[in-house]
Structure 1
Amino acid sequence: MKKILLIILYISLGHHLFSQGLLLDGFMQPKGEIVSAIGFSHEFYDTYYVGNVATQNPNLGTIKTNSVNLFLTAGITDFLNLTVNLPYVTAKPTAGFWSPQQGFQDLSIFLKGRLFQTDQLGNGNLNILGGLGYTLPTSNYIADAPISIGHQADRFEFRLISQYYFENSFFIMVQGGYLHTSNVETDRGFEVEVPNSFDWTIRSGMNIGFLYTDIWVSQQNALSGTDIGPGTPFPTNAVSFLRTGFNLYGDLPFISNLGLSAGMGFTLNGENVGKSTRISTSLIYRLSYLSKN
């Protein structure tokens, strides 16, 4: 299982998701190992929260968001990993006259390091990891539009991860993060403050032969911000949510180092966010860029 890095991406998708960052997993890639992936996700909702009140808008219909994600993580050392992600996002409504948006969204660059590890603790081992990330926009998408794919804001993230890995290949991971977001200049020509936030995630899973599976629950809480105006989201909105989902991964037969993952996620409730369902899949390839000798 240590050879597998499941590409579980919680990438900003559509105007209701882009305040959440890239959640890291609790596994480290050894020095000289690279995991690369290309992923596709489809997300949709016809109900969204204005503040914390669920509503629908016939002028929008169903908001559909598709994303193609390019992902890479590399073992710089056995104790330090580099992760890079870049999504191309398309968002559009099924009704009304609002224009769709598409383009490369935000580039995320993370360093993840092992802070503490036990070789044996009870029936397994414990890893404590830390993550430091920076995200920046990569295209001129419009942030203050009813259908948007991002905030046009720079963001710094700080993450702490604790994972206990049992001898029977079962694991439990708990992660917390703080997201500090810069102010942005809107298309209307004035600067606004994008709320900072914190989040937490609990994930549990295991290996069953060649198959990996997990379930997770995640919550984000905005530390400030406004509510959605008359049908129009805005970068100052306070975006909070509670989500859950599951993931599956399996190595493809007869093709060395190639695997396929699939997953679903569901928004249970939230604030200024879509009550969305997300379906995702990724093709994952592992390789070595350093000789083992």
Structure 2
Amino acid sequence: MKNFYEQFILGMILLIFSGIPLFSNAQTDQDALMMGHRNLCVAGMGGYTSWTNYWEGEFKRDNENIGRLSNTYGMLMLNYGVSKNLNILTSLPYVSTKASKGTLAGVQGLQDLGFYVKWRPLRRQLGKQKISVFGVGSLTTPSNDYNIDLQPMAIGLGGKVLSARIIFDVQRNKFFSTISAGYMHRSNVELDRPAYFTDRLINSYEVQMPDAGNFQLRTGYRGKKLIAEAFLVNMTTFGGFDIRKNDMPFVSNKMNSNSAGLEAKYYLNNALGFNATVAHTLSGRNIGQATGYSAGFLYTINLKSKTTQTATP
């Protein structure tokens, strides 16, 4: 018989996500899960975000020339366990944007190819508490020469991003808390025009991109078949400038946000799992106040034998 708490939490999650298909993040660069030795996880996912209000600097407003801006995406993700403490991951999303009003046409295409290395140097059992520390390094790079100069309709910011993240996780029985902090170094990007205006005129096609930091707090329940958590995410840009009054966003704007959400993973067996996520932007600067949903699946293959095995915390 399933554990009562697992049944109760799963029931609550199914109520929360009623009508929303299940989604999978697999094991990502942001969580405290590791793929087992010589296990390969193949994950497919889809998601939708939209907003009507946005922050122009610190001023919250809407824009009838855009109406509701929506972003639909799908992504393929692979995660391979080199060892129980070392994983390598890769991802490639396809993004489509659309505005409900105005003359701006939507854009669609493959976005940025990502490569990640996730290492767990410390895992200790202290009484009833299990403590783990992770380090993650990643590189994302545009998969093609997509247009970045039509914000907010563009599918991405272009440019390469080199990032490092540290994750600290504490689990007591089946309940856990995870804190992580990351730093993202962004390369300069190029426009298809010889000059542009930020807070001054710049006679160059090259744009200097500000670096950014990311902080996350996750807490919830982590069982053998079910993982359910709530999360808070802060994104802070180190530099950049505000959108000018009644102007379009620009690729090197300061883009800050605070968001919150819920996520659940449920494994049907040792191979197949599903995941669902919902998130909402609480506050921001030069970004839209978006609400997003994601859904998908993951399938784990144990390359050491004919059996399969899920990820382990």
Q: Decide whether the 8 Å contact of 1:164 with 1:173 is kept in 2.
A: yes
- Displacement after TM superposition at 1:257 (Å): 1.3
Whole-Å Cα distance in 1 between the matches of residues 120 and 270 of structure 2? 28
Whole-Å Cα distance in 2 between the matches of residues 94 and 234 of structure 1? 21
Aligned match for 2:249, one of 227, 233, 237? 233
Q: Decide whether the 8 Å contact of 2:177 with 2:220 is kept in 1.
A: yes
Matches within 5 A, 1:1-293: 7-8=24-25, 23-118=29-124, 120-146=125-151, 147-166=153-172, 168-189=173-194, 190-207=205-222, 210-229=225-244, 230-252=246-268, 257-291=271-305
- TM-score, L = length of structure 2: 0.83
- Displacement after TM superposition at 1:165 (Å): 1.8
Q: Name the one with the larger helix percent.
A: 2
Whole-Å Cα distance in 1 between the matches of residues 263 and 43 of structure 2? 15
Q: Decide whether the 8 Å contact of 2:24 with 2:273 is kept in 1.
A: no
- Displacement after TM superposition at 1:78 (Å): 1.8
- Give runs of ≥4 in structure 1 deviating > 2 Å: 6-9, 207-212, 290-293
Instruction: Supply the RMSD in Å over aligned alpha carbons.
Output: 1.9
Aligned length: 272
Work out the percentage of aligned pairs sharing the same amino acid.
28
Q: Decide whether the 8 Å contact of 1:158 with 1:179 is kept in 2.
A: yes
Question: Which is further off, 173-182 or 70-79?
Answer: 70-79
Write the deviation string for residues 213-267 of structure 1: whole angstroms up to 9, x where unpaired. 1100000111100112333111110111000000122223xx6611211110000
Highest CA radius of gyration, 1 or 2?
2
- TM-score, L = length of structure 1: 0.88
Unaligned 5+ residue runs, structure 2? 1-22, 195-204, 308-313
Question: Which is further off, 275-284 or 228-237?
Answer: 228-237
Write the deviation string for residues 166-208 of structure 1: whole angstroms up to 9, x where unpaired. 2x22111100000000000012240001110111001112135
Whole-Å Cα distance in 2 between the matches of residues 23 and 285 of structure 1? 18
Question: Which is further off, 154-163 or 122-131?
Answer: 122-131
